[in-house]
Structure 1
Amino acid sequence: MKATTHLNTESAERYLGTLCKHFGHKVPVTHTRQNGHIELPFGACELAAAKGQLSLSATADDRVALDKVVQVITSHLERFAFREDPKLTWTYAA
C-alpha cells in the first residue's frame, strides 16, 4: 500500500536532510540533497526535494502499518517545520 503528500516550502532540501539525519540515528536511511529513503521497521518513506516542494511517499504491507508510517513521518515533519505550520493531506492508494 502507498500514500503520498506534498509540502509547498522553500525549505524542502533542509527538511529532507533534517528528517533523514534524525531517523538515521535509529533506522537505515539513505539520502542526498534531493532524495531520501527512510526504512522504518513497519514500512518506508521516500522523500524528494524540488524547488518549492517536498514530496513524500509512504509504503507498507497493510493499512495499519501504512497509517503508522504516515503518523510518524507527519509528526516529525510538523515538529521540524513548525514555523510553517504544515497541514499534510495524504492520498492513499492500494
Structure 2
Amino acid sequence: MFTTRGSVKTDNAAKYLVQLCKHFAHKVTVDLGETSGDVAFPMGPCTITATDDALIFDGHSEKAEGIEKMKGVIIVHLDKFAWREAPLDYRWEDGQA
C-alpha cells in the first residue's frame, strides 16, 4: 500500500474542505463531517482535514501511480477554488504502509 500525507497552508481551510468535498461528490462517494471529509477516489481513499490554518490530505493507493494521480486531482481542484491565494505551497510526504 502506498501512502501520501500532504498539507497546504490556508486561512480558508474549512471553506475549501466543503468546496472540494461537494465537488468530488458529483463523481465519487464522499462522507463530509464538520472538520474532515472522506473521499473514495477510484485510485484509493483520501481523508481531507481542515485545521485553523491548513488542509491536510491523507491518501492511500495500491499503486504508486495512484498516489500521483490523487495528488494531481487535489492540486488541480484546490488551485481553482483558491485562485486568490495562488500560488499555494503544497507539501507532500509519500511512503509505503
Q: Which residue of 1 aligns with 2:8?
A: 7
Q: Shift of the alpha carbon at 1:20?
A: 0.2
1:87 paired residue number: 89
Alignment of 1:60-71 (within 5 A): 60-71=61-72
TM-score by length of structure 2 reads 0.90
Computed over aligned residues only, the root mean square deviation of the Cα atoms, in angstroms, reads 1.0
Q: Give the secondary structure class of the aligned counterpart of 1:90.
A: strand
- CA distance in 1: counterparts of 2:77 and 2:15, whole angstroms: 13
Among the aligned pairs, what percent are the same residue?
Answer: 31
1:16/1:33 contact within 8 Å kept: no
Write 1 or 2 for the structure with the bigger share of strand: 2
What does residue 37 of structure 2 align with? 36
**Structure 1 runs, 4 residues or longer, greater than 6 Å off:** none
Residues 9 and 89, structure 2, Cα contact 8 Å, conserved in 1: no
Aligned-partner SS, 1:2: strand
> How many angstroms apart in 2 are the aligned matches of 1:50 and 1:87?
16
CA contact 1:44–1:69 (8 Å) conserved in 2 = no
Is this contact kept in 2: 1:44–1:58, CA < 8 A? yes
